[in-house]
Amino acid sequence: MREVVVTGLGAITPLGVGASVIHERWAAGVCAIADGVGPCTDFDPADFMTVKEARRADR
């Protein structure tokens, strides 16, 4: 069996960005789906990557 090191916890979802925000909104019963769509409105790629990386990333 291989050892694994977890260096962070988080996700980008329609409920928000980061484990704590997602948990708070989920626990409060927030629904992030509207009209059949769940947009990630809190996500800004500039917070996570450079302009060059964003330009080269898949959409």
Q: How far is Cα 19 from Cα 6, in angstroms, rounded to an integer? A: 14
Query: Which tens digits make up the pLDDT trace of 2-55?
Result: 999 988 878 999 999 998 999 999 999 999 998 999 999 888 888 888 989 988
Q: Is the pLDDT of residue 58 over 80?
A: no
Residue 49 domain flag: yes
- Structure tokens, 45: 């790629």
Q: Is 4 among the domain residues?
A: no
> Looking at the domain assignment, is residue 2 inside a domain?
no
- Answer whether residue 59 shows pLDDT above 80: no
In a domain, 7, yes or no: no
Check residues 48 and 59 and name the one with the higher pLDDT.
Answer: 48
pLDDT of residue 32: 92
What pLDDT score was predicted for residue 29?
Answer: 96
> Domain range for residue 29?
12-56
Q: Is residue 52 part of a domain?
A: yes
Within a domain: residue 31?
yes
Distance CA 44, CA 35 (A): 22
d(CA 42, CA 18): 10
Using the 8-state DSSP alphabet, how is residue 12 labeled?
A: E
Domains contained in the chain, number: 1
Does residue 1 sit within a domain?
no
